[in-house]
Amino acid sequence: MPIIGRLTAIYRSRGIEIATGLNPSHFDDFPLAPFTWFLKDGESLTNGLGIALQEIYFLECLFARYRPAHLFAIGNAMGWSTLALGLLNPQGKVLAIDAGLDRNSLAGIDFTNAAALQEALPVTVLRGRSPEDVGQVLGEQAMLPIDFAFIDGHHSTEQVAFDFGALRPHAAANCVYLFHDVATFALAPTIERLAADNRLSSRLLPGTNSGMALVYDSRDCPLLLDDIAPFAAPPAVLQTIREAAWSHRHRHLARWRRSVVKRLGQSRAALPGQ
């Protein structure tokens, strides 16, 4: 069952308006328009935007048949993705950490914990840093081993490697790792290397707004991969779309090229012996 209605209501009932899933082309091609904005009295509450509406739908598909018991998230901000994980996995236990460095992120920790308690969701958020605090908080919160990890902290090649390295010793063999903002921050080579070094598979998800990526053991995930297949378009399809996007952006040049090709064809046809 879709969770977006209840998730939005958690915020609106507490005085926070939500804007999510907006089309960038309607907002001067602003790339952050699709992500989730939290506003109170017309002011944005955080510079850490929530995952996009389409990415909430991705999570609904991901957890359609996949039922992890222990879910761990690095990064919380205003709790949008953390609470979504709780709504989608009522049978599990969700733990998130946040360093509390972004504007309003400490208030976000308090908000998420209060909302989870009031909504009877299996969610806890702690202030903590990755990688140094990961092992301790997982042990103290009885979260071992973790079955699912959502990595959405600082988006750099060094930090995602630190995050994955901190999680790996505390994860089940069939743990699924989901990285946010991979395409946005050009992290795909790093994710692929981390997967290969640990004898795991990786899959970029261009059907998500930020270009998420999964790292997983391919022997344990056939149903999961079937459920998220629409978000992982084949390379040949992506190339076709890239070419169409180029033609649209440079449509005058594309029209000129077609004209030149047509004229060259006509000229060859007019040559003797053709």
Ramachandran bin of 42, using left for φ above 0, alpha for ψ from -120 to 50, beta for the remaining angles: left
Rounded CA-CA distance 69/74 in Å is: 17
Quick check: 143 and 93 in contact, CB under 8 A?
A: yes
Q: What pTM, to 2 d.p., does this model score?
A: 0.89
- What does the pLDDT read at residue 245? 81
Residue ranges with strand state E in the chain: 17-19, 37-40, 43-44, 70-74, 93-98, 123-127, 146-151, 171-179, 201-205, 212-216
Q: Along the chain (274 residues), what's the average pLDDT of each consecutive run of 10 residues?
A: 94 97 95 96 88 98 96 97 98 97 93 98 98 98 98 97 98 96 97 97 96 93 86 82 78 60 59 57
Other beta carbons less than 10 A from residue 86's beta carbon: 26
Domain ranges of the chain: 4-231, 235-267
- What does the pLDDT read at residue 273? 58
- What does the pLDDT read at residue 269? 59
Distances (CA, A) of 193 to 16, 196, 202, 224, 259: 40, 5, 9, 22, 44
- What does the pLDDT read at residue 123? 98
Distances (CA, A) of 68 to 94, 101, 102, 171, 182: 10, 29, 29, 12, 23
Helix (H) or strand (E) holding 119: helix 105-119
User: Token pair for residue 10?
Assistant: 């958690």
Cα-to-chain-centroid distance, residue 118: 26
The amino acid at 99: A
The amino acid at 249: R
Rounded CA-CA distance 53/47 in Å is: 17
- What does the pLDDT read at residue 219? 85
- What does the pLDDT read at residue 223? 79
Q: What angle do CA 168, 171, 175 make, to 5 degrees?
A: 105
| Domain 4-231, CATH class in plain words | alpha beta
Quick check: 81 and 72 in contact, CB under 8 A?
A: no
Ramachandran bin of 146, using left for φ above 0, alpha for ψ from -120 to 50, beta for the remaining angles: beta
